[in-house]
Chain A
């Protein structure tokens, strides 16, 4: 059980003027941070604000170049994850840090000395105590890889409790949860701080920081730009708090400018028709089960849902990367269910993958080569199978210009560009030539706010140019911003499609937790 010794006013862990520099970036710049027991400390900032680096420092993955770390008033080095754990600091990382092939029990005891034998009875006794205090139950013999991400997150929280942690860091913990799952996590955090823990809640979502945080620290470009103490927060209402934080996060710039405006609505007959599409998958959730929908030119159809519920499989089946078990895909009256990736691309069906570096680009190849990666061997870039470097380079330069890609030049390996710029290159590649239907899978995932807004505007513009867009996203706000209709996907099925109008949010929320709209 968590130790409840420290008086409520003294910080358990304190960072004083910590700084971390990576090649070319000042990731964290003289940041002070005090973690107090009994308090949910929300750490808010966009991508690149320095949140991950701070988490890495607290959990022993990186050491600060300058500044000091104090644990219960004494100066300490946190040189390894082991040292962090010994100081009572546990971290639940954004990407699950469990071994998928081990059982829940094995993951819970991972980290004990190698000669010791896991004591199941003892573990069960302590789990019973955790269950009664925090209401978390676990099935010890389940292989971890078969559990949902939410369940895996609970295992990591239990592991932290078993280790008698004094500080629990939750890194973007709601990104894999449904709205109701996020609320449950909020309630759990309440119970955890009540028991005396200091909880650090890292997020890039404003409303979550305001809803769950007792104290909010705002980071921007590696610097701490403000801190709202509990007293101050208690004095304002939610809206005032949000306003205050927005001011801190973005300076003078307002994010309200962003909402893209749609000029046109869908027109004419469907260009893409999907009927009874079924794709077998590796797990219970990650598959496509009897999915049907129509998509018309000029329309944006959004697919909402928790990550890992078959969205990627659906996108890949549409693009031709995944074999369809049953069902049909029709593009402009032509059955393309069995056509190759290349053939579908030629017919105007384009797919922008969410895995930009893993499968979208070849990191070691120059930007120029990546712009023609889906047209290897085709004229005018190749002639009789021989590369024409001049043509490829001028084509790449044109795209770099048109899509405002920030790169030294077209010969730079694409892996050296930022995520936002890689995204622009991939988008340019997918839209070049005769595109008619574009499938986007999580197009703004991992981008900073400016790039997110630019991407959404581009997607809206694509639909306005009478292309049909299928927009898969785990960010409901994004879909509500740009989509015409929104479908909800859960466990491989479309549980419903609603028009994006007044009240759409409520109906989608209902669909996501399994109730009919």
Chain B
């Protein structure tokens, strides 16, 4: 296992020494920071006069151990998994796509604009397909400028993707308010896709079918990145662009491809959220899932299967946290504190682990 958080995102990858030792080691550098983050964040709660154990207990009960909560958790996983897939592609290829929130929201906007209109002329299946494809396409288009700037002008994509996110959030709002406004309501929002025409739920539960799409997205991305020629090309560009150039790979073209795939998945995440859960897009709605998924993907060390596990727990935390905000009066901002603690402690654990192994030789 190489040093992930101390280096560029692409440098993680290739490694599998002694399976048993690796598992123990993984547990130490993963579970350790998770526990520490829970304790540290618990202290914050304590300082605010909230009993941390009661809070965590309530969150676990609501997000994991009640049937209703669990269904909500699994539904929430769908867009997060797509976003995780988007980030895994980008990070493994050494691209910091920090613009997934903008891509997500424009994807959502596209689906919300298309679906209620298409359903009047097309069958439900075709409507969902076109609306989801549209979301992915618009997400990809939104990343084109940062992609071209990075590929051909060497302009740092961190800045450009962040700028495009701010731009995208406002743009989505503008379109909702001015172009796709539902004349039938007083709330500024798009027209609504009827519940019956949304993504089918799973096996008679309330769990959105988007979950399946999200799982497929993560698994496919994981397999493509680790088992195919295309994935190896992207990882080569990510680990050492000079070596990629030397080996005859078209680095700028592959860079644009990475942006396009990553942003398309982020756009699809937005589409899934609209087509599976909301049915419409309200103005000024911005869940900002993206920044929170980044730590999860790091935590999973860009491994798709690990990402699924972390997304599951994070979703439970969100659902439980939203419920706790109503019942216990701790706003769901607390989740941000927890994630931040987790990210920093994780980075620290990797650093200490790296130092330890260096000493050991």
A interface residues with partner B (beta carbon < 8 Å): 23-24, 319-321, 340-342, 345, 351, 353, 355, 358-366, 369, 373-374, 376-377, 382, 385-387, 411, 413
Q: Find chain A residues with CB under 8 A from B232 CB.
A: 369, 376, 387
**Which of A24, A321, A374, A386 interacts with B228 by CB under 8 Å?**
A386
Contact: B239 with A385, CB < 8 Å?
Answer: no
Contact: A376 with B227, CB < 8 Å?
Answer: no
Q: Find chain A residues with CB under 8 A from B322 CB.
A: none
Q: Find chain B residues with CB under 8 A from A342 CB.
A: 248
Chain A, residue nearest B17 (CB): A411
Contact: B246 with A360, CB < 8 Å?
Answer: yes
In the complex, what's the smallest C-beta–C-beta distance from A435 to chain B, in angstroms? 15
Contact: A365 with B239, CB < 8 Å?
Answer: yes
Roughly how many angstroms separate A321 CA and B243 CA in the complex, as a whole number?
A: 11
Q: Find chain A residues with CB under 8 A from B227 CB.
A: 386-387
Q: Find chain A residues with CB under 8 A from B15 CB.
A: 413
Chain B, residue nearest A414 (CB): B14
Roughly how many angstroms separate A360 CA and B243 CA in the complex, as a whole number?
A: 6
Roughly how many angstroms separate A385 CA and B15 CA in the complex, as a whole number?
A: 22
Contact: B229 with A387, CB < 8 Å?
Answer: yes
Q: Find chain B residues with CB under 8 A from A369 CB.
A: 14, 232
Given A320-B248, A358-B242, A359-B245: A365 in contact with B14 (beta carbons within 8 A)? yes
Given A345-B248, A376-B247, A386-B228: A366 in contact with B14 (beta carbons within 8 A)? yes
B interface residues with partner A (beta carbon < 8 Å): 2, 11, 13-16, 227-230, 232-233, 235-236, 239-240, 242-243, 245-249, 358-361
Roughly how many angstroms separate A29 CA and B14 CA in the complex, as a whole number?
A: 35
Roughly how many angstroms separate A369 CA and B228 CA in the complex, as a whole number?
A: 12
Chain A, residue nearest B242 (CB): A359
Given A359-B243, A363-B240: A374 in contact with B358 (beta carbons within 8 A)? no
**Which of B13, B243, B248 interacts with A361 by CB under 8 Å?**
B243
Chain B, residue nearest A383 (CB): B229
Q: Find chain B residues with CB under 8 A from A23 CB.
A: 358-361
Q: Find chain B residues with CB under 8 A from A385 CB.
A: 228-230
Contact: B11 with A364, CB < 8 Å?
Answer: yes
Contact: B247 with A373, CB < 8 Å?
Answer: yes
Chain A, residue nearest B12 (CB): A364
In the complex, what's the smallest C-beta–C-beta distance from A420 to chain B, in angstroms? 19
Q: Find chain A residues with CB under 8 A from B239 CB.
A: 362-365
Given A342-B248, A345-B248, A363-B240: A377 in contact with B14 (beta carbons within 8 A)? no
Roughly how many angstroms separate A303 CA and B9 CA in the complex, as a whole number?
A: 39
Q: Find chain A residues with CB under 8 A from B16 CB.
A: 411
Interface centre among B14, B230, B248, B360 (most CB of A within 10 A): B248
**Which of A24, A358, A364, A382 interacts with B2 by CB under 8 Å?**
A364
Chain B, residue nearest A353 (CB): B246
Contact: A376 with B236, CB < 8 Å?
Answer: yes
Q: Find chain A residues with CB under 8 A from B235 CB.
A: 365
Chain B, residue nearest A316 (CB): B246
**Which of B13, B229, B230, B246 interacts with A321 by CB under 8 Å?**
B246
In the complex, what's the smallest C-beta–C-beta distance from A393 to chain B, in angstroms? 13
Given A362-B243, A363-B240, A369-B14: A374 in contact with B248 (beta carbons within 8 A)? yes
Chain A, residue nearest B16 (CB): A411
**Which of B11, B243, B248 interacts with A340 by CB under 8 Å?**
B248
Given A23-B358, A382-B229, A386-B227: A373 in contact with B236 (beta carbons within 8 A)? yes
Roughly how many angstroms separate A360 CA and B244 CA in the complex, as a whole number?
A: 9
Given A340-B248, A341-B247, A413-B14: A362 in contact with B361 (beta carbons within 8 A)? no
List 11 additional A-B contacts (Cβ < 8 Å) besides A321-B245, A321-B246. Answer: A341-B247, A342-B248, A360-B243, A362-B236, A363-B239, A364-B2, A365-B235, A369-B14, A374-B247, A376-B247, A377-B233
Roughly how many angstroms separate A364 CA and B302 CA in the complex, as a whole number?
A: 15
Roughly how many angstroms separate A23 CA and B354 CA in the complex, as a whole number?
A: 13
Chain A, residue nearest B360 (CB): A23
Roughly how many angstroms separate A364 CA and B94 CA in the complex, as a whole number?
A: 13
Roughly how many angstroms separate A267 CA and B68 CA in the complex, as a whole number?
A: 82
Q: Find chain A residues with CB under 8 A from B246 CB.
A: 319, 321, 341, 351, 353, 359-360
Q: Find chain A residues with CB under 8 A from B233 CB.
A: 376-377
Given A340-B248, A362-B236: A24 in contact with B361 (beta carbons within 8 A)? yes
Chain A, residue nearest B15 (CB): A413
Roughly how many angstroms separate A366 CA and B233 CA in the complex, as a whole number?
A: 15
Roughly how many angstroms separate A342 CA and B245 CA in the complex, as a whole number?
A: 10
Roughly how many angstroms separate A423 CA and B235 CA in the complex, as a whole number?
A: 22
Roughly how many angstroms separate A364 CA and B360 CA in the complex, as a whole number?
A: 19
Roughly how many angstroms separate A363 CA and B2 CA in the complex, as a whole number?
A: 10
What are 26 sample pairs from A and B whose C-beta atoms fall under 8 A apart? A319-B246, A342-B248, A353-B246, A355-B242, A359-B240, A359-B242, A359-B245, A359-B246, A361-B240, A361-B243, A363-B239, A363-B240, A364-B11, A364-B13, A365-B13, A365-B14, A365-B236, A369-B14, A374-B247, A374-B248, A376-B233, A376-B236, A377-B229, A382-B228, A385-B229, A413-B15
Roughly how many angstroms separate A387 CA and B228 CA in the complex, as a whole number?
A: 5
Chain B, residue nearest A377 (CB): B229
Chain A, residue nearest B239 (CB): A362
Roughly how many angstroms separate A411 CA and B245 CA in the complex, as a whole number?
A: 23
Q: Find chain B residues with CB under 8 A from A364 CB.
A: 2, 11, 13-14, 239
Q: Find chain B residues with CB under 8 A from A366 CB.
A: 14
Q: Find chain B residues with CB under 8 A from A353 CB.
A: 246
Roughly how many angstroms separate A362 CA and B243 CA in the complex, as a whole number?
A: 7
In the complex, what's the smallest C-beta–C-beta distance from B21 to chain A, in angstroms? 15
Interface centre among B11, B240, B247, B361 (most CB of A within 10 A): B247
User: 4 closest Cβ contacts across the A-B interface?
Assistant: A341-B248, A377-B229, A23-B361, A359-B242
Chain B, residue nearest A24 (CB): B361
Roughly how many angstroms separate A158 CA and B11 CA in the complex, as a whole number?
A: 41
Q: Find chain A residues with CB under 8 A from B14 CB.
A: 364-366, 369, 413
Q: Find chain B residues with CB under 8 A from A319 CB.
A: 246
In the complex, what's the smallest C-beta–C-beta distance from A119 to chain B, in angstroms? 38
Chain B, residue nearest A358 (CB): B242
In the complex, what's the smallest C-beta–C-beta distance from B70 to chain A, in angstroms? 36
Q: Find chain B residues with CB under 8 A from A351 CB.
A: 246
In the complex, what's the smallest C-beta–C-beta distance from B1 to chain A, in angstroms? 10
Roughly how many angstroms separate A387 CA and B223 CA in the complex, as a whole number?
A: 11
Q: Find chain A residues with CB under 8 A from B228 CB.
A: 382, 385-387
In the complex, what's the smallest C-beta–C-beta distance from B248 to chain A, in angstroms? 3
Roughly how many angstroms separate A341 CA and B229 CA in the complex, as a whole number?
A: 17
Roughly how many angstroms separate A411 CA and B230 CA in the complex, as a whole number?
A: 20
Q: Find chain B residues with CB under 8 A from A360 CB.
A: 243, 246
Q: Find chain B residues with CB under 8 A from A382 CB.
A: 228-229
Q: Find chain B residues with CB under 8 A from A361 CB.
A: 240, 243
Roughly how many angstroms separate A329 CA and B48 CA in the complex, as a whole number?
A: 74
Q: Find chain B residues with CB under 8 A from A377 CB.
A: 229-230, 233
Roughly how many angstroms separate A292 CA and B44 CA in the complex, as a whole number?
A: 72
Roughly how many angstroms separate A152 CA and B360 CA in the complex, as a whole number?
A: 40
Chain A, residue nearest B228 (CB): A385
Roughly how many angstroms separate A491 CA and B358 CA in the complex, as a whole number?
A: 44
Q: Find chain B residues with CB under 8 A from A341 CB.
A: 246-248
Roughly how many angstroms separate A385 CA and B228 CA in the complex, as a whole number?
A: 6
Chain A, residue nearest B227 (CB): A387
Q: Find chain A residues with CB under 8 A from B13 CB.
A: 364-365
Roughly how many angstroms separate A411 CA and B243 CA in the complex, as a whole number?
A: 19
In the complex, what's the smallest C-beta–C-beta distance from A361 to chain B, in angstroms? 6
In the complex, what's the smallest C-beta–C-beta distance from A202 to chain B, in angstroms? 27
In the complex, what's the smallest C-beta–C-beta distance from A322 to chain B, in angstroms? 10
